[in-house]
Structure 1
Amino acid sequence: MKFHPERDSLTLELHARPIRPVRAPLRISHIGFGTGEHGGDRDFEDLVALCLKFGTAEPSADMKHFTADLGPFTVKWERHTEFSTYTFLREESFDAPFEETVFGLLPADWKEAKFGEVMVAVHLAVADGMETPLDPNKLSRWFDGNEVFANRMEKANRMEKANRMEKDWVEIYGDLRTHDDGFDRMYLRAGDLGQELLGQTVQRVLELNTYWRLSLLSLPIARENSPKLERIERGLARIAAELADGDPNRTDESLLDPLAQLSAELETIIASSSYRYRASTAYFEIVEGRLRQLGAVSLNGYIHLFDYLMRRIDPALRTCWSVQSRQEAISKRASRLSSLLRTGIEVKVERQNRDLLDSMNRRAAQSLAIQRTVEGLSVVAISYYAVNLLKYLLEGMVKAHLITVDPTIVSAAFLPVLVIALWFSLHRLTRRALKKPDKDA
């Protein structure tokens, strides 16, 4: 059998970025760096440098994900299209979940030299035990008094057994705010889920934190482009109004230059933002998928995670989609105006061509009339010289006593024949010359 050349790579794609089983209690520091589509090599060099610092075997260059135990903590690295993520995990007990973090165990020089801009930074603390209620005062201190959302993950429960008890649920708390150290904070309380299911839940929570922020990267672009689009739209409206006025003193060519400038500026905006809008849409769909997979239900007295996210993400993305639609509408309007101007210019050019052809036809008729006149004069002139030559010939022959005729009478007799023959010869040559281009074609 002959297998498809991409069969193995497609199979491996199903096993890419595997879920790492984890056990509570657990501290996690998760960081996402924006590297762009061409920053993979430098990002990989940073990963290799981190492994060398802790004496761990470095990964191979073709890896897109890598997990290693570095001693004080475990690192999980993933390379995506335009960003990479580092997840640092350390299994340990704690009383204050965010006073000490795994990120603090990283070498300072590595953190300072790390390539890429930090887009996502979150500390996640996973505690075990659901027996005692969580003290609201503690929760408020952990999140610096900010408004906190709280949810219970029930879908994780249903994935195991339909008859599990409350101690097997997972509760998630967070404020989705950046704290003084530059990190967001999230707190999970996990029951007896098992390491696989807890690892899956942790990964989805981290992905949710990563992708909701990435989905909003197009919002600053939309805000920046909105005034530019408004100015372009006003410029196109002015051109359309001038075009509709039909001012005889205005030429379509005078509107073509400003229209071309506005169209070029618009295309620049579209080229620089279209990818970002499409990426935001894709990231938002991942956020929605992760929220459905988590299956969170609200706890009494706390806001729901879905509501907490969507009350800002949804309006922000609708703003981006609105700006994207506005760009496309303005582009179509500019295209229509350009077509109208080109049509007007083409009509004028065709009118000028028609007038030019009419002028050429008139000049050709005049040339033909002149040619006919010149042709008649040519027959007279040639006949005059031919008769004189004949007369000179006859006079010479008479003086030589070769003939005995009157040269004047003979020349007069040949004059009509000579004129007619010359006229027919010139007329035939003229007609042949006029017919020659048609025959060549």
Structure 2
Amino acid sequence: MKFHSEREALTLELHDRPFRPMAAPLRVSHLAIATGERGGERDHAQFAALCRRYGKAEPAAGAKHFTVDLGPFTVKWERHTEFSTYTLLREEPVGQPFDETVFALVPAEWRDGLYGEVMVALHLTVTADGGDPPNSDGADGNRLSRWFAGNPVFGCALADGSARLYGDLRTHDDGFERLLLRAAGFEPVLLGQLVQRVLELVTYARFAMLSLPIARAASPRLEGIERGLAEVAGTLADAGRGESDEALLDRLSGHSAELEDVVAASNYRYGASTAYAEIVDNRLRDLQPAALDGHINLVGYLMRRLSPAMRTCASVAARQEALSRRANRLSSLLRTGIEVRLEAQNRDLLESMNRRSAQALALQRTVEGLSVVAVSYYAIGLVKVVLEGLAKADRLGEVSPTVATALAVPLVVAAIWLGMRRLTHRVLEKPKAE
């Protein structure tokens, strides 16, 4: 049997990025860093440096994910198309959910030298109790409010009510967001799966929103391009316009170039955001979040801005596509008009050339008649000289040279006219194909 060359790679792809077993209670710090599509090598070297610092094995060249226990904490690194994630976790008893963090254990010099731009920075605390936190704690007030710095907190039940997730999705003083997951009775593999899906939900939602600023910046430019194209269309529709085709073409080319610049700056981003939004939808279906009494629902909290943002991006992308088609139609109309005018100019030029050719032919025939007269005059002079010579030699008998010359005039003129006509026909005759 002959196996496909990509069979093994595709088989391994099915087992790529496995869920890491986890046991509650534990603390998690999660980073998603935008390093660009070409930042994979620097990102790989950066993570390898962290492994070497603790004397641990490094990821193989070209690896896209790697998990290693560094001692104080375990870190899972994943390389995606345009960003990388670091998930640091430490299984330990949890008192106050966010008083201590795993990220605080990372060496400061490595942390400060991180390559790329941080898009997601999140602390997730997982506790082994599955019940609701008390609504109040004596003089301390509401615990949830205190843990999330008084911000509005969403809450939802996950995995058919077996776990409960709380958070505010707001940046706190340390630059991190906070999530609290209460999960009791989960097997390590299932808990690892649940934690990873929660982290992916937040990460992909944030990267999906990345296209919103681009769409907002593109809208005023698209409005200007749309007005410019409308002006060009109005000028084209005006039969008595005073603007030249060259000026119109320059204006249309300028608007088309600006439109292409807008499309080039945003087209990839819109496609990526659409893909990320689809992953968010998949993660929400996997987590099956259900509303909890007295708390904002996660779906409503997250999709309240994500859905309008995606609709805005889709609307701007559709507007760009419509303007591109409109610019192409205007360009075709302008080119068609220019071609029609060029054809009219060429027709006029050919007619002028035909008139000039007819005039040249008439002039040529006039010159040809004058040439017959002139050549005949000189030929008759030669005939007269010959006849006078013959007369002096007594070769003409009683015939007078003058009479003989007069009789020869019609013959000479006719011969010369026939000769000139044959010569003209030979010159004008089309060459025969070989």
Q: Aligned pair in 2 of structure 1 residues 132, 355: CA closer, same or farther (>3 Å)?
A: closer
Q: Is the 8 A contact 2:131 2:182 kept in 1?
A: no
Give ranges in structure 1 of 5+ residues lacking alignment.
Answer: 156-165
Q: How does 1:194-213 map to 2 (within 5 A)?
A: 194-213=187-206
Report the counterpart of residue 154 of structure 2 in structure 1: 149
| Paired letter, 1:151 | C
| Paired letter, 2:423 | L
Q: Give the distance between the partners of 1:275 and 1:435, measured in 2 at CA.
A: 66
Report the counterpart of residue 96 of structure 1 in structure 2: 96
| Paired letter, 1:110 | W
Q: How does 1:47-58 map to 2 (within 5 A)?
A: 47-58=47-58
Q: Give the distance between the partners of 1:46 and 1:173, measured in 2 at CA.
A: 33
Q: Is the 8 A contact 1:36 1:81 kept in 2?
A: yes
Q: Is the 8 A contact 2:67 2:75 kept in 1?
A: yes
Shift in Å, 1:440: 5.5
Report the counterpart of residue 167 of structure 2 in structure 1: 174
Report the counterpart of residue 139 of structure 2 in structure 1: none
Q: Give the distance between the partners of 1:219 and 1:349, measured in 2 at CA.
A: 47
Q: Give the distance between the partners of 1:79 and 1:16, measured in 2 at CA.
A: 12
Q: Are 1:351 and 2:344 counterparts?
A: yes
Q: How does 1:120-135 map to 2 (within 5 A)?
A: 120-130=120-130, 133-135=133-135
Q: Single out whichever of 231-240 and 293-302 deviates more from structure 2.
A: 231-240
Equivalenced residues, count: 428
Report the counterpart of residue 138 of structure 1 in structure 2: 143
Report sequence identity in percent: 61
Report the counterpart of residue 162 of structure 1 in structure 2: none
Q: Is the 8 A contact 1:222 1:320 kept in 2?
A: yes
Q: Give the distance between the partners of 2:238 and 2:24, measured in 1 at CA.
A: 75
3-state DSSP class of the match of 1:90? Answer: strand
| Paired letter, 1:334 | A
Q: Aligned pair in 2 of structure 1 residues 39, 411: CA closer, same or farther (>3 Å)?
A: farther
Q: Is the 8 A contact 1:253 1:345 kept in 2?
A: no
Q: Is the 8 A contact 2:75 2:88 kept in 1?
A: yes
Q: Is the 8 A contact 2:133 2:143 kept in 1?
A: no
Q: Aligned pair in 2 of structure 1 residues 96, 380: CA closer, same or farther (>3 Å)?
A: same
3-state DSSP class of the match of 2:430? Answer: helix
Q: How does 1:23-422 map to 2 (within 5 A)?
A: 23-130=23-130, 133-135=133-135, 137-155=142-160, 169-396=162-389, 398-399=391-392, 406-422=400-416
Q: Give the distance between the partners of 1:134 and 1:421, measured in 2 at CA.
A: 132
| Paired letter, 2:406 | A
For each residue in 1:332-365, what CA deviation from the matched residue of structure 2 results, as whole angstroms up to 9, or x when unmatched?
2222222222222222111111111111111111
Shift in Å, 1:300: 0.7
Q: Single out whichever of 270-279 and 234-243 deviates more from structure 2.
A: 234-243
Q: Aligned pair in 2 of structure 1 residues 89, 402: CA closer, same or farther (>3 Å)?
A: farther
Shift in Å, 1:417: 2.5
Alignment root-mean-square deviation, CA: 1.9
Q: Give the distance between the partners of 2:133 and 2:114, measured in 1 at CA.
A: 41
Shift in Å, 1:402: 6.6
Report the counterpart of residue 2 of structure 1 in structure 2: 2
Q: Single out whichever of 169-178 and 134-143 deviates more from structure 2.
A: 134-143
Report the counterpart of residue 435 of structure 1 in structure 2: 429
Shift in Å, 1:247: 2.4
Shift in Å, 1:184: 1.1
TM-score when normalising by structure 1: 0.92
For each residue in 1:33-89, what CA deviation from the matched residue of structure 2 results, as whole angstroms up to 9, or x when unmatched?
111111111111101111111111211112111111111111111111111111111
3-state DSSP class of the match of 2:30? Answer: strand
Q: Aligned pair in 2 of structure 1 residues 402, 3: CA closer, same or farther (>3 Å)?
A: farther
| Paired letter, 1:6 | E
3-state DSSP class of the match of 1:319? Answer: helix
Q: Give the distance between the partners of 2:389 and 2:23, measured in 1 at CA.
A: 138
Q: Give the distance between the partners of 1:116 and 1:91, measured in 2 at CA.
A: 28
| Paired letter, 1:241 | G
Give ranges in structure 2 of 5+ residues lacking alignment.
Answer: 137-141
Q: Give the distance between the partners of 2:32 and 2:429, measured in 1 at CA.
A: 82
Shift in Å, 1:407: 4.2
For each residue in 1:241-298, what CA deviation from the matched residue of structure 2 results, as whole angstroms up to 9, or x when unmatched?
2222322533333322111101110111011111111111110000000000001111
